[in-house]
Amino acid sequence: LARILRRREKLPLYNTVDDVIDLITRSNNIVVLGGAGISTSCGIPDFRSKDGIYAQLQKEGKYDLADPQDMFDKEYFLQDPSCFFSFAHSIFPSNFVPSPSHRFIKLLEEKDKLLRNYTQNIDTLEEAAGIKRVLHCHGSFAEAQCTTPGCGRRVLGSAIKDDIFAHNVPTCPDCAAREEAKKLQRAKAKKSKGGSLWDDNDDDDDDNAFPGLGVMKPCITFFGEKLSDDFDHCLLEDREKVDLLIVMGTSLKVAPVSELVGHLPHSTPVILINRTPVVHMAMDIQLLGDADIIVDHLCRRLGWTLPPPKPNTDV
């Protein structure tokens, strides 16, 4: 009731860092919604900052993109996967070390306060930080899947790593094997009709079906793709328990993940830790600045020590 009355009087319920410390201290089911801003200090650019991926793509002009978002558009990917794979090396997780912000989330887990970390990031730095209760809302580079309808072969992200760093389009081993078998069958059929086994220059040759056939796509969610059902299931479960939402390093511009804020009970206090303010959604407190510096300050105030960094070598 006090909250409602204060809201009616337009008085903010929480004003100060003391309030944040108090909220974290008495909360035991904290949901953390993270975004690219918690990984920028690890050397991975975000999307929308002035030195982010979108600005870089526009500046470089080396990709023929009407809109920088097309780099992560499913339809565009299927038309021309080589564009994404000439760029993917710059965001592929390799030897990045989790930031203090990742380690802060891990610390919440160690203190038994983390209900779930919903991350929009695809860099797998949550795993590198040892966070267990994490949901990769937009998938990750940990796996890749064949885009050929009816195939869908999955491989570990490490299987396409060399192609990514060589700027090659990775192709599906199953599709390649099927293609080889088809070729052999055609050649045999031709031979039985009296032709040469190795003379394969017929007009109906469909060997050259690339792009599209057998292209492996990292299991990250592109624009135009649905989120996995896990997102809805977790949200349904967590909304019953959550007592604090901490939003970190995200512009909250990508739906449906951004809608998580509205799906939690309205009584849940929301703390934003971000370099830039969020103006399109109601936050109870906005701690604006570098997330790593902010969490370091919070830890000192809470009397907590961040766990030491570990390199990410898993993908």
DSSP string, 122-147: -S-HHHHTT--SEEETTEEEEEEEE-
Nearest-angstrom CA–CA distance, 113 and 277: 26
231 close to 33: Cβ distance less than 8 angstroms? no
**Does 263 participate in catalysis according to the annotation?**
no
Shortest CB 5 distance to ligand CNA, Å: 32
Dihedral (CA of 104, 96, 54, 215) sign: negative
Our measurement of the distance from residue 19's CA atom to the centroid of its chain's CA atoms, rounded to an integer in Å, reads 31
83 appears as a binding residue in the annotation: no
Q: Which is nearer to ligand CNA, 284 or 290 (CB)?
A: 290
User: Measured at CB, which residue is nearest to ligand CNA?
Assistant: 37
Contacting positions for ligand CNA (CB under 6 A): 35-37, 39-41, 44, 46-49, 52-53, 91, 120-123, 138, 249-251, 253-254, 274-276, 290-291
137 appears as a binding residue in the annotation: no
Q: Which of 138, 263, 266, 297 is catalytic?
A: 138
The side-by-side arrangement of strands in the sheet containing 134-136 is: 134-136, 114-119, 30-34, 244-248, 270-274, 285-288
Q: Which is nearer to ligand CNA, 164 or 254 (CB)?
A: 254
Shortest CB 104 distance to ligand CNA, Å: 12
175 appears as a binding residue in the annotation: yes
Q: Which is nearer to ligand CNA, 98 or 214 (CB)?
A: 98
Nearest-angstrom CA–CA distance, 219 and 140: 6
172 appears as a binding residue in the annotation: yes
47 close to 295: Cβ distance less than 8 angstroms? no
Q: Which is nearer to ligand CNA, 19 or 225 (CB)?
A: 225
What is Dmax (Cα atoms) for the chain? 91
| Binding residue numbers for Zn(2+) | 146, 151, 172, 175
Active site residue ranges = 138
